[in-house]
Structure 1
């Protein structure tokens, strides 16, 4: 009787220990990149309409930028890519803005010193400071602005694009791990239970 209880506690200890080790196994933190290239979009003003326009421009520019940053290894090359695509980005932004107001000006430029607050991306911390950025000015550019990190390409993370797919894959993977481990543990307890009460 006592030996059966001891076996049960040993089994529970091993399972709990294994679960805690998996919970504490986090990927190592990546170092903060020395160089980054950012995006900053200034809306015309703080009205709901112009904030909506800014959001549509934001989504379009972020998605377009991500498509061209996928295989870019350095900030210098990223800068060259954006310099080559400034006119296209401006045209895409204008198409959205002019669908609301054909007279509203849009300006897209690469600026070397643009002020930014602190930004956190998971384990990465981008401290406040002046950074090179792709700047989109809509109209007077006096409304609330939005920004993200273009290189490394993290803008889609801010927008939550792709996160749902990653979460579903993670949930499926965790479910498979539980399914694989559960029968072994259940079988072990069943054996102990049977030995305990059949003795």
Structure 2
């Protein structure tokens, strides 16, 4: 009996140690190159309607931008394209807002030093820092924001178009994998719960 308990604790120690080292390997640095341009959209407020408007604006801008970013060779060329299309992007955002029959201003700008927080998405870590970004502020811009990378067009590939910044704790917990220790199951089998 003492031997079984000893082997069980040794096994648990090895499993937990291995799991800890795997956690560190699972989180890798973001493959986004330094010379990227991000998209950041601030909603008017956190109401369901305003969050829906934000997502519609996101989709419109992402689809519109994808047409121009596909074969863009450099960040400078992408910046020139965005500069030339700021007015059109603003009009597209206004069309979405008008379709919801609400009246609020939209401000679209290309900014060099926009602060982004660290973001963990699956195994990738998007490091915090100041990045060049196309910023869209809807109304007061006081609501939750959303972001992705427009150039290179990494967030456009799956047209779920990136991830929400405002992911809730509940959603985070649902995404966390559940682990079962086989040694614990054996222990329960031998000695009961």
| 1:35 aligned counterpart, secondary structure | coil
Specify the alignment match of 1:34 in structure 2: 34
Higher helix share: 1
Specify the alignment match of 1:127 in structure 2: 127
Contact 1:111 1:132 in 2 (8 A): yes
Alpha-carbon distance, 1:113 to partner = 1.1
- TM-score, length-normalised on structure 1? 0.61
- Alpha carbons of structure 1 residues 129 and 158: separation in structure 2 relative to 1, 3 Å: farther
| 2:50 aligned counterpart, secondary structure | helix
Backbone CA RMSD of aligned residues: 2.3
- Alpha carbons of structure 1 residues 98 and 155: separation in structure 2 relative to 1, 3 Å: same
Specify the alignment match of 2:189 in structure 1: none
Look at both structures and tell me which one has the larger radius of gyration over its CA atoms.
Answer: 1
Specify the alignment match of 1:66 in structure 2: 66
| 1:154 aligned counterpart, secondary structure | coil
Residue 143, structure 1, aligned to residue 143, structure 2 = yes
Specify the alignment match of 1:80 in structure 2: 80
- Alpha carbons of structure 1 residues 34 and 135: separation in structure 2 relative to 1, 3 Å: same
- Alpha carbons of structure 1 residues 136 and 106: separation in structure 2 relative to 1, 3 Å: same
Structure 1 residue runs of 5 or longer lacking an equivalent are 1-28, 162-199
Show the 5 A alignment for 1:99-138.
Answer: 99-119=99-119, 125-138=125-138
Structure 2 residue runs of 5 or longer lacking an equivalent are 1-28, 162-193
Alpha-carbon distance, 1:102 to partner = 4.6
Alpha-carbon distance, 1:99 to partner = 1.9
Show the 5 A alignment for 1:16-31.
Answer: none
| 2:63 aligned counterpart, secondary structure | helix
- TM-score, length-normalised on structure 2? 0.62
Show the 5 A alignment for 1:81-100.
Answer: 81-100=81-100
Contact 2:97 2:103 in 1 (8 A): no
- Alpha carbons of structure 1 residues 69 and 45: separation in structure 2 relative to 1, 3 Å: same
Alpha-carbon distance, 1:122 to partner = 8.0
Alpha-carbon distance, 1:101 to partner = 3.7
Contact 1:66 1:155 in 2 (8 A): no
